[in-house]
């Protein structure tokens, strides 16, 4: 493929199929600076697409050449108010010589219309470049963290909850996969931002090819169980490293989660007490992960925060109506939305701990804001007050933003933990 701007001034956005998807991989790989040619990446992507189907993949074509692509997966994601269908946007790319010609805008506009037509109220994505997606109505809704602990400081408090009756098993992940799936299913039902993993997503999570190991050992699973079954697990790999003064091995934790306090303690003490280990590294934790509270010296686990999930309200009145609220609030929201015009306008929100109602109105607005601000705030971690102080939204009725933030707040931080 030698895609370049031709003399044509027209291109179209349409669906695609399995046979053409190799061209999609070529375009997206080039856009994301992938070091591997499409055929070498195919075994990573094909299982997902074959399982999910190709009907959600859109391409921009100039004649017979694919010059752009965007896709979304059908997820069930925990949202405030319960699990909801969410379009997990991925595979976004434009051939470099077609940039800044409106290709991405046209694909995103078409994708949002398709998502809306399917009756889905939300879209979410991980942004390879955050500056791109705000203009399409996505807001940075989830901050996660990576951190690490050197061995002398990897100790838990003496009063951390411990249960000697819990069983701890270290195994190949496939040997304990039913336990992993059970724990994750329970956690993903209630922690905003997580989505339920179908079988093909578990295949992807547990795939352990040599080129994925980064010089480390094979993927390992440790499962903590009680009389009623599994209560938590961690997926990790070790890396053997020696220096002049001895072993400085590493434990690289891919994910860790639990459903009971004593299980968190058992998992962290297992990770911290591996022999020959000098440092334990966590790639992705919720910002309120129990680790900070369990550590004897929490200041030693210095967090590096990063934005993970961006959220987009595809149907503003439906999304706000089905959300749960921590406190009563009533406000008229004037929403701007260039890419989903059905959202633009004034909406009266009446909400409380028992439910919410949203309806169109001609009343004067209490707040004027962009749909991306609502997406950022929807999972309860990002406050609208930051946008207000930055001058990016307008408060017409003093105190409205504070009341909205109070109502939208959730005590537990959202978390995704799975790049898609």
Taking Cα atoms as reference points, which of 318, 310, 342 lies closest to residue 90? 310
- pLDDT tens for 175-202 read 999 999 999 999 999 999 999 999 999 9
Mean pLDDT across 71-82: 97
* Strand pairing category for 277-286 and 249-258: parallel
Kindly list the structural domains of the chain, giving each domain's residue range(s) and its CATH number in brackets, ordered by start. 11-120 (3.40.630.30), 154-300 (3.40.630.30), 315-408 (3.30.1050.10)
* Torsion on CA atoms 390, 394, 396, 397, rounded to nearest 10: -50
Non-local CB neighbours of 241 within 8 Å, separated by 6+ positions: 247, 248, 249, 250, 278
197 has binding-site annotation: no
pLDDT of residue 7: 42
pLDDT of residue 215: 83
pLDDT at 36 over 90: no
100 has binding-site annotation: yes
Sign for the pseudo-dihedral over CA of 95, 100, 106, 109: positive
92 has binding-site annotation: yes
Whether 373 contacts 137, CB under 8 Å: no
Q: Using pLDDT thresholds of 50, 70 and 90, give the confidence band for residue 217.
A: very high
Taking Cα atoms as reference points, which of 163, 277, 165, 164 lies closest to residue 220? 277
Catalytic residue list = 133, 420
93 has binding-site annotation: yes
Whether 346 contacts 365, CB under 8 Å: yes
Q: Using pLDDT thresholds of 50, 70 and 90, give the confidence band for residue 9.
A: low
User: Would you mind telling me the total number of residues written for the chain in this entry?
Assistant: 420
Q: Using pLDDT thresholds of 50, 70 and 90, give the confidence band for residue 216.
A: confident
- pLDDT tens for 336-353 read 999 999 999 999 999 999
What is the C-alpha separation between 172 and 61, in angstroms, rounded?
45
State the helix-helix crossing angle for 21-31 and 38-52, rounded to 10 degrees. Answer: 120
103 has binding-site annotation: yes
Q: Using pLDDT thresholds of 50, 70 and 90, give the confidence band for residue 359.
A: very high
Whether 343 contacts 375, CB under 8 Å: no
Taking Cα atoms as reference points, which of 167, 188, 163 lies closest to residue 176? 167
What is the C-alpha separation between 415 and 311, in angstroms, rounded?
12
300 has binding-site annotation: no
Non-local CB neighbours of 315 within 8 Å, separated by 6+ positions: 116, 120, 121, 342, 343
Whether 57 contacts 16, CB under 8 Å: yes
Whether 154 contacts 297, CB under 8 Å: no
- pLDDT tens for 264-312 read 999 999 999 999 999 999 999 999 999 999 999 999 999 999 999 999 9
Q: Using pLDDT thresholds of 50, 70 and 90, give the confidence band for residue 416.
A: very high
pLDDT at 150 over 70: yes
């Amino acid at each position: 493929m030698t895609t370049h701007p031709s003399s044509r001034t027209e291109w179209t956005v349409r669906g695609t199929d399995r046979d053409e998807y190799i061209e999609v991989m070529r375009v997206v790989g080039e856009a994301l600076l992938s070091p591997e040619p499409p055929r070498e990446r195919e075994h990573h992507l094909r299982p997902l697409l074959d399982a999910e189907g190709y009907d959600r993949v859109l391409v921009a074509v100039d004649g017979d050449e694919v010059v752009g692509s965007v896709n979304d997966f059908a997820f069930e994601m925990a949202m405030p108010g319960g699990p909801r269908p969410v379009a997990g946007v991925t595979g976004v790319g434009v051939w470099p010589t077609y940039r800044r010609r409106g290709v991405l805008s046209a694909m995103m506009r078409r994708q949002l219309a398709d998502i809306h037509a399917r009756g889905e109220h939300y879209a979410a994505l991980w942004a390879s470049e955050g500056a791109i997606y705000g203009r399409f109505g996505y807001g940075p809704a989830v901050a996660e963290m990576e951190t690490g602990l050197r061995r002398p400081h990897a100790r838990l408090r003496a009063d951390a909850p411990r249960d000697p009756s819990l069983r701890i098993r270290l195994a190949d992940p496939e040997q304990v996969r039913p336990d992993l799936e059970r724990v994750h299913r329970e956690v993903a039902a209630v922690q905003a931002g997580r989505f339920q993993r179908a079988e093909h997503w578990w295949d992807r999570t547990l795939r352990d090819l040599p080129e994925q190991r980064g010089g480390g050992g094979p993927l390992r699973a440790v499962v903590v169980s009680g009389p009623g079954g599994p209560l938590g697990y961690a997926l990790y790999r070790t890396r053997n490293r020696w220096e002049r003064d001895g072993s400085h091995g590493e434990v690289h934790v891919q994910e860790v989660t639990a459903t009971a306090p004593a299980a968190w303690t058992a998992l962290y003490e297992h990770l911290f007490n591996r022999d020959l280990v000098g440092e334990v590294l966590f790639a992705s934790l919720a910002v309120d992960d129990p680790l900070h509270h369990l550590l004897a010296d929490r200041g030693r686990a210095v967090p590096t925060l990063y934005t993970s999930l961006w959220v987009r309200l595809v149907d503003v009145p439906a999304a706000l109506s089905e959300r749960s609220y921590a406190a009563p609030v009533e406000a008229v929201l004037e929403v701007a939305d260039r890419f989903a015009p059905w959202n633009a306008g004034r909406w009266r929100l009446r909400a409380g701990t028992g439910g919410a109602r949203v309806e169109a109105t001609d009343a004067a607005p209490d707040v004027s804001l962009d749909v991306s601000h609502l997406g950022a705030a929807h999972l309860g971690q990002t406050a609208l007050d930051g946008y207000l102080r930055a001058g990016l939204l307008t408060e017409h009725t003093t105190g409205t933003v504070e009341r909205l933030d109070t109502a939208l707040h959730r005590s537990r931080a959202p978390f995704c933990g799975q790049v898609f």
